[in-house]
Structure 1
Amino acid sequence: MVSSSVKKHYINSLSINNIVNLLILNSLVFYFGKQFLTKTLVARQQKVFTAIQEAEKQLELSKLRVEESEKQLEQTSLVIKQIISEAENTAQKIRASILVQGKSEIDRLALTTQNSIINAEVQIKNQIQKHIVSIAIERVSIKLKQAITAEQHQLIIDKNISKLGGL
């Protein structure tokens, strides 16, 4: 039994020694690792803090850009509305101008047509008058031929020649 109690004592002593060694090791790691770990954590914290500040700056810049873009969009919308308004006004003016020109062209065509009709009437009247005169002369000639003798005819011809300053 002695050997069993020595074994137990040895195991207990070994366990205690292991626990003490672990405590010492943990204390050393904590003591020496604390500085390293603190430096690492402080550096990391600084990087995170810097990254957050940069992100906040970028956010502010983005907000400013969004506001500027919205202002530009509003200005562009106003310009587009103004252009549309001007285009509509121009279209109305052009439409009115086309109507005035169309009316003027219609009036001109009506006047030209009326003048053409008047000219045609004058030409027709002249032709009718010429035809009537020609028919009248022909009838008079026929009646004169029937009513005038050769001597009377020669006498008329001589009178007309002498009037012309004849022979």
Structure 2
Amino acid sequence: MDAVILMATEEVGHFGLNTNLLETNVINLAIIIGVLVYFGRGLLGKTLGDRQQQIATAIAEAEERQRTAAARLAQEQQKLAQAKEEAARIREAALVRAKAAKEELIAKAQQEIERLKQTASQDTSAATERAIAEIRERITALALAQAEQQLKERLSHDAELQRTLVDRSIALLGGK
């Protein structure tokens, strides 16, 4: 049996390999495989079982993370949809406010135009009335001046007429 277990043999003064396959390799391999199977079966089974358990746990955790991510994605998509709806409402409200502000500005501009027209009309009417009053005053002044001049001319030529006028004026004032 010593020859079977040893793969190397001693020859004259040095070591060498036993090349007889039947004696060395097959038997040695069978023994090693037998020992490995006998002692390694439990260890290998336990290692493979542990590895299988780790893989199953990792798969379960990955599936849980996938479900969590899918739930988060659904929540975020719902939030995005709500944000889009809110943005649309804000946009519509802004358009309504802008339209109302535009209409208000147009109405104020129309009122200002009407006020300016009325002011201009009043200014024109007042200027016209002032001009008419001034023209009347001038006409009256000219008429009085002309009447006075004609009266002076008549009175200076006609002394009898002058006395008659003075007497009438005195009578009107309460004299004789």
| Band of TM-score, shorter chain | 0.7 to 0.9
Mind listing any 5+ residue stretches in structure 1 that lack a counterpart? Answer: 1-10
Give the Å deviation of 1:142.
2.1
Change (3 A) 1:154 1:30: farther
Query: 1:8 — aligned with what?
Result: none
Moved more, 92-101 or 74-83: 92-101
Please state how far the C-alpha of 1:129 moved relative to its aligned partner: 0.7
How many residues get paired? 155
Higher fraction of helix: 1
Candidates 68, 78, 85, aligned match of 1:61: 68
1:25 has 2:32 as partner: yes
Percent identity at matched positions?
27
Q: Write the deviation string for residues 57-108 of structure 1: whole angstroms up to 9, x where unpaired.
A: 1100110011111111111111111111111221222222222222222221
The residue identity in structure 1 corresponding to 2:137 is: K
- Read off the aligned partner of 2:36 and give its amino acid letter: V
Give the superposition deviation at 1:128: 0.4
- Runs of 4+ aligned residues of structure 1 deviating over 4 Å after TM superposition are 11-14, 152-157
Q: Following superposition of structure 1 onto structure 2, how do residues 82-101 of structure 1 map, counting pairs within 5 Å?
A: 82-101=89-108
Q: 1:16 to 1:137 in 2, by over 3 A?
A: same
Among 34, 39, 42, the residue aligned to 2:49: 42
Quick check: 1:143 aligned with 2:150?
Answer: yes
- Bigger share in strand: 2
Q: Structure 2 CA distance, aligned partners of 1:70 and 1:109?
A: 57
The 3 A distance-change label for structure 1 pair 12 and 74 is closer
Pick one of 21, 31, 52 that aligns with 2:59: 52
Structure 2 gap segments, 5+ residues each: 1-17
TM (norm. structure 2) is 0.73
Give the letter for the 1:73 counterpart: L
What is the Cα-based RMSD across aligned positions, in Å? 3.2
Describe the shift of the 1:31–1:137 C-alpha distance in structure 2 as closer, same or farther (beyond 3 A): same
User: Against the structure 1 CA distance between its residues 13 and 99, is the aligned structure 2 distance closer, same or farther, given a 3 Å change threshold?
Assistant: closer
TM-score (norm 1): 0.77
The answer to whether the aligner puts 1:108 opposite 2:115 as a matched pair is yes
1:16 is displaced (CA, Å) by 2.3
* Structure-2 separation of matches of 1:12 and 1:90: 102
Deviations 1:20-39 (A, max 9, x none): 12201111012212222222
* More contact order relative to length (CA 8 Å, sep ≥ 6): 2
